[in-house]
Amino acid sequence: MITMANNMFALFVVISLTFAFTNAEDPLLEIGNLSRKSFPAGFIFGAGGSSHQFEGAANKSGKGPNIWDTYTHNHPERIADGSNGDVAIDQYHRYKEDVQIIKDLNMDSYRFSISWSRILPKGKLSGGKNLDGIQYYNNLINELLDNGIQPLVTLFHWDLPQALEDEYGGLLNSSIINDFRDYADLCFHEFGNRVKDWVTFNEPWMFSYGGYALGTLAPGRCSNPTCLGGNSGTEPYIVSHNQILAHAHAVRLYKTKYQAKQNGKIGITLGGNWYLPLGDNIEDELAAMRAFDFQFGWFMEPLTTGNYSLSMQNIVKTRLPKFSTEQSRLVKGSFDFIGLNYYTTNYVNNVPPQEGVPPSYTTDSRANLSFEKNGIPIGPRAASSWLYVYPRGLRLVLLHIKEKYNNPIIYIHENGMDEFNDPTLPVEEALLDTFRIDYYYRHLYYLRSAIQLGANVKGFFAWSLFDNFEWGEGYTFRFGLNYIDYEDGLKRYPKVSAKWFQNFLKRN
C-alpha cells in the first residue's frame, strides 16, 4: 500500500500535471482551482452505484432472483469474464464501511438503487414482503443520515424480479405498470419518511436498447439468432412505453399520497449523449437531431409534451405504441427533476432509408454514429469502446435541454470513465488514475459554464463510487473512484481521483 507521504506527493504531482495538461490542450479552460465554492450555494455533490452491481448477497436473507441473476448463471458466455453479481463488491455486508468512505470524501449524497426482488422476492405484494430486505435498506438509509449524507434512491436499475419475467414477460407486458406502482408504494411507505429524493427508472433507454434491441444486456433479446428470442423492431418500443407509463403511475401515486407529508421530490434518470453532425450539411444536422430524439428524446418528449417526437412517429409508424388521451395527460409533466447520465459525444452522418431491411430500433434513427472525423478521434478513448472523452458535450447537451424542454431542474446522475482491470498491476500503481482527475476537472468546468449560461443544474454525481460488476463486461473494466481488490477480500482503496474529490469538496 502506498504510504501517506507518497499519497500526498502523488496527489500534488497529479493535480499540477492535470492543470498544466488541461490548460495547454484547451485554452478555454481557465487556470485556477475549481472547487465546491465554484458552484452555487446548495449544489449537491455525490457518487453512485446500483444494487446488482454493488450489493452481492444474491441468494441470502430472503432475496428472490432477478433477471441478471438468471442471465449470468444461465449464459455466462455472454459476460466478458463469465462472472456474475452473486458477491459483487459485497456492499450488503459492508455498507457501514462504505458509508464512512462516502463521508471521508466530503460528499453530500449517495445514489443507490433498491433491489426490487430483495424486498418483494416474487415481484408482487401478494407474494409477500421480505422483512430482512426492508431492514437492510432501513439500515443503509439510517447509516447515511447518521453521517450527514442524503440518500438518493432509484427504484429500478435494470434488475427486474425473475418471477415477473417468468409470469408475463416482464416489461414486455403492461401488467408491469401496476406491479411497479405497488412496489413503489411499498418503498415510499417504508422509506419515504427519510428519503427525500426518488428516481423511478435509471436509463430506460439503455434497458430497452441493450436488453431488447442489441441483446447484450439481460434479458438478452433481439432479432439476431444469437439472442435469446425477441424482435428488435418492436420490443424496444413496447418496453420503453411500459417504462414511461409505470414511471408516470408511480409519480402520480407519490404526488397524491406521499409528497405533501414526506416533502420529497421524484424524477427519472435518462441517458443523454450529445451528437455532432459529421459533415457541414443539413442532412447530417438533421441526423444528429434524430439520434438525440431516439435516445434522450424518446422519453423526454412524452414527459414534456405527452407524446413521442415527430421524427419517431414518422419513422417507426405503427411499431411505435400510442398514448391514449388519458395516458398522455398522466405522462406529461410527471417529474420534479430529470437525472442526466452523460459520458460521451458521437459524430453523426445521415443514412438514407434502406429498402428490404427488417426494421430495427438500431437502424430506425437513420443515423450512423462514429467517434472519428477525418481520421481524428473526437477525444481520448477510455477502456470502453463506446466512451470517448468529450467534456464540451456536457455543456452542449445541457444547453440544448434548457432551450428545447423549458429548462427543467437537472441533476447529473452519472459521469465518469473507466480503465481496464489489469490483475498483474500492483495495487499501488492501479490507484494512480490521473486520467480520471483530468476527466472530472474538464467536465466540472463545462458543467459550471452551462450553469453560468442558465442551465438549471442542481447537483453532480460521479460514476461510480467503487469499481464494480459492469454488466456484460463483468469485472474487466473499472469505473470507481475507489479501487476494489478482487484478489484480496474486496478491500477498498482510495484512488488518487478519490483524494482529488476529497480536496475538491472540502468545506470551509
Residues annotated catalytic, as ranges: 203, 414
Q: Which three cell numbers stand for residue 298?
A: 424518446
Q: Which three cell numbers stand for residue 414?
A: 452519472
Cβ contact 445:27 at 8 Å: no
User: What 8-state DSSP symbol labels residue 453?
Assistant: T
Cβ contact 504:32 at 8 Å: no
Buried b (16+ CB within 10 A) or exposed e, 178-207: ebbbbbbbbbbebbbebbebbbbbbbbbbb
Residue 149 is which amino acid? Answer: I
Bridge pairing between strands 491-494 and 482-485: antiparallel
- Cβ partners under 8 Å of residue 322, min gap 6: none
Distance CA(393)–CA(171), nearest Å, equals: 32
The residue written with cell numbers 407524446 in the block is 307
User: What 8-state DSSP symbol labels residue 213?
Assistant: I
Peptide bond before 126: cis, by omega within 30 degrees of 0? Answer: no
Closest CA to 174 of 256, 232, 240: 240
Peptide bond before 121: cis, by omega within 30 degrees of 0? Answer: no
Distance CA(195)–CA(110), nearest Å, equals: 11
Beta strands in 343-444 (DSSP E): 345-350, 367-370, 372-373, 376-377, 410-414, 419-420
Distance CA(209)–CA(404), nearest Å, equals: 24
Exposed, middle or buried, 456 (CB in 10 Å: 0-12/13-18/19+)?
middle
Distance CA(474)–CA(313), nearest Å, equals: 36
- CA 291-294-300 angle, to 5 degrees, is 120
